[in-house]
DNA sequence: GATGAATGAGATTTCATTCAT
DNA sequence: TATGAATGAAATCTCATTCAT
């Protein structure tokens, strides 16, 4: 699920990879096109041979990746597994995206998803597709009785995705410790929080029993 | 909890209010200092009389507001109420912030909190203070037994705040319908999702009982 | 009829004057905005404080001047003098424009009037106004019988203006000797050519008489 | 007198023809070398195989054509016909040039002759050759008594050529109606204006007679 | 406090030209 | 011949900030 970095030859690929590094390092705005060209060891003008603008590079980076993620979510949603497992698979996929290509994921999260004003607005629909798919998982979970109906699927999808993004943001900006263990723990924790809730079950079960 | 808009006289206040409007409309980057001055009906140079830089205006806007929020959270955390009620009070406060001053909240969310690379990094610590306070609420909930211990407080705080921010973002960018009813429903829904979880209780309670 | 060069103080005027010099020296395209700023001894950005673009500077230069010329032509046309005298006055005014401010006239002729593709198209209407006024002079000359009716006024106006412009171009590019004497001789020569024609009068008169 | 358009095979010719179309459409400056290659259905690099530079293409276009015109003028000048007929033949040739290949003539007029600053200067001598030849026609007309001596031949040549160019410019930029009739009328009108003058002959003849 | 003219660094983008195949 | 990827210089325009009044 993680594309290999170009070693040379495919200049377009090299520029894209260099852009990830450059954007991740300095941020999209502070990053000059010449930074990308330098990082790619390529002439300035070649960037404009392959891409119409700096924006288009970011768009390409985002869309290529996001489409892979969307395909994965769609496929996951279609499987015959418990909805909780589906959500776990999705959380795991997103976190693994970050684990295996943190720079790219940082760029996507920070420069596109969390910069809605600048770029996100251009991709609002594409981003919302993920919410819709996740919402459908929740809805079908409610239909089969594994999820309760108090919370609207759309809302649950936002909360679920919001929690993941926040955690990723925590890693990206060093507010949360990173590491393979942390990554795996986070996958479960997110699902446990969103699905299981913070409330203590035995306490609640007890009160239920007492009814 | 919502400060009145300046009607005139206090030029500093007028500039700040104009900045909210201008930043909300065009985004921080696309907004020129002259836009702020125009919006405030104030001479260009006066902006620099009151503020060292364009950044400082945004910082001021953010900090003034955030400190109010932090104070509220701290006060809420100190009260002798169930942790779930505390979380509800916090979610309600944030959402009401948005309800009563959507432009300012949009600026804070979009330009500061969700633009970590550019401005957020400068305020990471300030932002983290909220996470810490919320985390403490969760921790004390776990200590008293109302919250289970599977999820780390820090993590729960992120998920909680992430869900709220995501919902606000949904409103800000028109992906979610707005309205007084929606606002109130969201408050409960967030708490219900994070505390109660998506899992169906009766189902779970039943399985617990059967043990 | 010739505006004084700014000596200092009025920066807008200084920029305009510097632009004339710079455009005349290097041509509009080859002239950088920094050349203008340097020539005006003014900071780069100030040029953009007063003018929206490099184009606007040229437009301003042209329009300011052309409107003066149009006013003069209109006033001349309205006078009660023989049409031939009117044409002489107009040719004289244009040539004197060049005599007293050759750089500005060069810019107008070479960069606007003779660059129809680039700038002229934007000013086609303004330029055509002159043709119309001159055409009206010819038409009224035909009406009173001093001009013959074989040639359409519109056409005569083009020929008249074309002859003047060509002569100016000859001076501008050093294909024709310049000098006060040459200027005055040119005024008469143009009118003599267009009005009197090249044909020898005595010869023609003789043939007419013989009829 | 009009060369056939290349249909294929001769790539150099195809490029030249494509350049005419491209230059006429967008103007020399706005036209990219790639536009020419596209229009010619030829690989980008091939343009540089046949021409050293974009300038050279325009130069070639101009010189090829201008030399034909110069040859025609020289030949016409050498004939034993009245000078007025010679001028008519020249005006007719130029106008027919435009009639049969308006795009090419537009390019030559607009991009070379009327862009003296940019390209014309390189061709000043070549252009002046035409003036000289026309001037010689006028001079010989004066020598044989058909033209009066008040106007210098050089000057008359400028006026004559200026009138033609202005009329062509009128057609090129849609300020004058085009059409076979208009073209033929223009030939006579130009000669009539320049040779016969605008003054009414009978009026003048009468005044002459009265002497 | 108030004004707005003045400054100048900096980044994107374009495109003619070269070159390896 | 033919191709089109690769190069990189150059120039416009923006706008935050300063400063003189």
pLDDT at A24: 92
pLDDT tens digits for range A162-180: 999 999 998 998 888 999 9
Q: What is residue B147's DSSP assignment?
A: B
Q: Are A46 and A37 in contact (CB under 8 A)?
A: yes
Cβ pair B120:A150 closer than 8 A: no
Domain annotation covers residue D56: no
Tell me, yes or no, whether D117 and D38 share the same domain.
Answer: no
Cβ pair A192:B29 closer than 8 A: no
Decide if pLDDT at D67 tops 90. yes
pLDDT at A155: 87
Q: Are D94 and D102 in contact (CB under 8 A)?
A: no
Calculate mean pLDDT across residues D201-209. 49
- Residue A183 Cα, gap to closest chain B Cα (Å): 12
A115 contacts on B by Cβ (under 8 Å): 114-115
C201 contacts on D by Cβ (under 8 Å): 148, 204, 208
Decide if pLDDT at C8 tops 90. no
Considering only the beta carbons, identify the residue of D116, D146, D194 that sits closest to C169.
D116
Interatomic separation, CA of residue D49 and C1' of nucleotide E20, rounded (Å): 15
Tell me, yes or no, whether C176 and C196 share the same domain.
Answer: yes
Task: Assess whether C8 (CB) lies less than 7 A from strand E.
Answer: no
pLDDT tens digits for range B39-94: 999 999 999 999 999 999 999 999 999 999 999 999 999 999 999 999 999 999 99
Decide if pLDDT at B102 tops 60. yes
Greatest alpha-carbon pair distance for chain A in Å reads: 74
Lowest mean pLDDT among A199-208, B99-108, D107-116, D175-184: A199-208
Cβ pair B199:A202 closer than 8 A: no
Cβ pair B205:A203 closer than 8 A: no
Cβ pair C162:D158 closer than 8 A: no
Give residue A113's pLDDT band: very low, low, confident or very high (50, 70, 90).
Answer: confident
Domain annotation covers residue A200: yes
pLDDT at A39: 93
pLDDT tens digits for range D179-189: 999 999 999 99
Decide if pLDDT at C91 tops 80. yes
Q: Which positions on chain F have an atom < 7 Å from some protein CB? A: 1-20
User: Collapsing DSSP states into helix, strand and coil, what is residue A199?
Assistant: strand
- Percent of chain B residues past pLDDT 70, beyond the cut: 87
Give the residue from chain C lying closest to D156, CA to CA. Answer: C193
Task: Find residues 117-176 of chain A whose CB sits inside 8 Å of chain B.
Answer: 117-118, 120-121, 124, 128, 131, 138, 141, 145-148, 150-152, 154-156, 158-159, 161-167, 169-170, 172-173, 175-176
Domain annotation covers residue C121: yes
Domain annotation covers residue A150: yes
Domain annotation covers residue B181: yes
- Residue A98 Cα, gap to closest chain B Cα (Å): 17
Tell me, yes or no, whether B40 and B131 share the same domain.
Answer: no
- Residue D12 Cα, gap to closest chain C Cα (Å): 26
Tell me, yes or no, whether A17 and A117 share the same domain.
Answer: no
Tell me, yes or no, whether D123 and D24 share the same domain.
Answer: no
For chain D, the DSSP string reads --PPPP-SS-HHHHHHHHHHHHHHHH-TTT--HHHHHHHHT--HHHHHHH-S-HHHHHHHHHHHHHHHHHHHHHHHHHSSS-HHHHHHHHHHHHHHHHHH-HHHHHIIIIIIIT-IIIIIHHHHHHHHHHHHHHHHHHHHHHHTTSB-SSS-HHHHHHHHHHHHHHHHHHHHTTSS--SHHHHHHHHHHHHIIIII-SB-HHHHHHHHHH-
| Separation of alpha carbons D32 and D127, rounded Å | 26
**Which one has a higher pLDDT value, A119 or A44?**
A44
Residue span of the structural domain in which D197 resides: 62-210
pLDDT at B209: 45
Tell me, yes or no, whether D41 and D68 share the same domain.
Answer: no
Best interface-test mutation with B: which of A162, A165, A206 has the largest number of B CBs within 10 A?
A162
Which whole-number Å values give the CA distances from A173 to A46, A113, A194, B107, B122, in the listed order?
32, 15, 23, 20, 11
pLDDT tens digits for range A81-102: 999 999 999 999 999 999 999 9
Give residue D209's pLDDT band: very low, low, confident or very high (50, 70, 90).
Answer: very low
Give the residue from chain D lying closest to C201, CA to CA. Answer: D148
Considering only the beta carbons, identify the residue of D148, D173, D201 that sits closest to C121.
D173
pLDDT at C204: 47
Tell me, yes or no, whether A89 and A142 share the same domain.
Answer: yes
Cβ pair B116:A172 closer than 8 A: yes
Decide if pLDDT at B3 tops 70. no
Q: Which residue is nearest to nucleotide F7 (CA to C1')?
A: A43
B117 contacts on A by Cβ (under 8 Å): 27-28, 110-111
Lowest mean pLDDT among A73-87, B119-133, D175-189: B119-133
pLDDT at B4: 54
Tell me, yes or no, whether A93 and A15 share the same domain.
Answer: no
pLDDT at D125: 87
Task: Assess whether D45 (CB) lies less than 7 A from strand E.
Answer: yes
Check which CATH number belongs to the domain holding B98 and give it.
1.10.357.10
Identify the CA nearest to A61 among candidates A89, A24, A30, A32.
A24
Residue B172, C-beta contacts closer than 8 angstroms, at least 6 positions apart: A116, B102, B105, B106, B109, B110
| Separation of alpha carbons A141 and A146, rounded Å | 5
Residue D84 contacts C, CB cutoff 8 Å: yes
Domain annotation covers residue C57: no
Domain annotation covers residue A57: no
Q: How many domains does chain B have?
A: 2
Question: Mean of the per-residue pLDDT values for chain C?
Answer: 88
Task: Find residues 30-59 of chain C whose CB sits inside 8 Å of chain D.
Answer: none
**Which one has a higher pLDDT value, D201 or B118?**
B118
Would the pTM count as exceeding 0.75? yes
Task: Assess whether B43 (CB) lies less than 7 A from strand E.
Answer: yes
pLDDT at D119: 65
- Residue D81 Cα, gap to closest chain C Cα (Å): 15
pLDDT at D120: 58
Give the residue from chain A lying closest to B201, CA to CA. Answer: A148
Tell me, yes or no, whether A75 and A144 share the same domain.
Answer: yes
Domain annotation covers residue C157: yes
Please identify which residue in the block is written with the tokens 């050529």.
D161
Q: Which positions on chain E have an atom < 7 Å from some protein CB? A: 1-20
Cβ pair D194:C197 closer than 8 A: yes
Tell me, yes or no, whether B106 and B151 share the same domain.
Answer: yes
Residue D196 contacts C, CB cutoff 8 Å: yes
Decide if pLDDT at D52 tops 90. yes
pLDDT at A8: 52
Tell me, yes or no, whether A6 and A104 share the same domain.
Answer: no
C164 contacts on D by Cβ (under 8 Å): 162
| Separation of alpha carbons C147 and D200, rounded Å | 5
Tell me, yes or no, whether A96 and A147 share the same domain.
Answer: yes
Q: What is residue D103's DSSP assignment?
A: H
Cα Rg, chain A, nearest whole Å: 20
Give residue B202's pLDDT band: very low, low, confident or very high (50, 70, 90).
Answer: low
Decide if pLDDT at D210 tops 90. no
- Residue A178 Cα, gap to closest chain B Cα (Å): 13
Cβ pair D189:C151 closer than 8 A: yes
Check which CATH number belongs to the domain holding B47 and give it.
1.10.10.60
Calculate mean pLDDT across residues C86-95. 97
Decide if pLDDT at A198 tops 50. yes
Question: Mean of the per-residue pLDDT values for chain B?
Answer: 88
Strand nucleotide closest to residue C46 (CA to C1'): E6
**Which one has a higher pLDDT value, B114 or A93?**
A93
Q: Which residue is nearest to nucleotide F2 (CA to C1')?
A: D46
Give the residue from chain C lying closest to D163, CA to CA. Answer: C159
Q: Which residue is nearest to nucleotide E10 (CA to C1')?
A: A32
For B5-23, the DSSP string reads PP-SS-HHHHHHHHHHHHH
- Residue A32 Cα, gap to closest chain B Cα (Å): 15
What the block records as the tokens of B23 is 């930043």
Interatomic separation, CA of residue A196 and C1' of nucleotide F10, rounded (Å): 62
C197 contacts on D by Cβ (under 8 Å): 193-199
Give residue C119's pLDDT band: very low, low, confident or very high (50, 70, 90).
Answer: low
Decide if pLDDT at A4 tops 60. no
* B-contacting chains (≥3 CB pairs under 8 Å): A
């Amino acid at each position: 699920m993680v594309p290999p970095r170009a070693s040379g030859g495919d200049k377009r690929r090299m520029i894209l990879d260099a852009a990830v590094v450059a954007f991740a390092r300095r941020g999209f705005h502070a990053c000059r096109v010449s930074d990308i060209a330098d990082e790619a060891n390529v002439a300035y003008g070649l960037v404009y041979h392959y891409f119409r603008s700096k924006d288009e590079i970011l768009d390409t980076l985002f869309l290529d990746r996001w489409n892979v993620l969307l395909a994965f979510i769609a496929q996951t949603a279609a499987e015959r597994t418990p909805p909780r497992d589906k959500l776990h698979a999705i959380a795991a996929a997103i976190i693994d995206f970050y684990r295996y290509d943190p720079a790219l994921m940082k760029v996507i999260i920070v420069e596109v998803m969390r910069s809605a004003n600048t770029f996100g607005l251009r991709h609002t629909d594409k981003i919302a597709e993920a919410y819709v798919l996740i919402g459908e998982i929740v809805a079908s979970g409610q239909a089969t009785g594994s999820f309760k109906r108090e919370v609207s699927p759309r809302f649950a999808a936002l909360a679920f995705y919001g929690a993941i993004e926040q955690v990723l943001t925590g890693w990206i900006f060093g507010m949360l410790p990173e590491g393979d263990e942390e990554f795996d723990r986070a996958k479960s924790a997110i699902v446990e929080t969103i699905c299981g809730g913070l409330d203590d079950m035995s306490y609640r079960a007890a009160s239920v029993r007492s009814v």
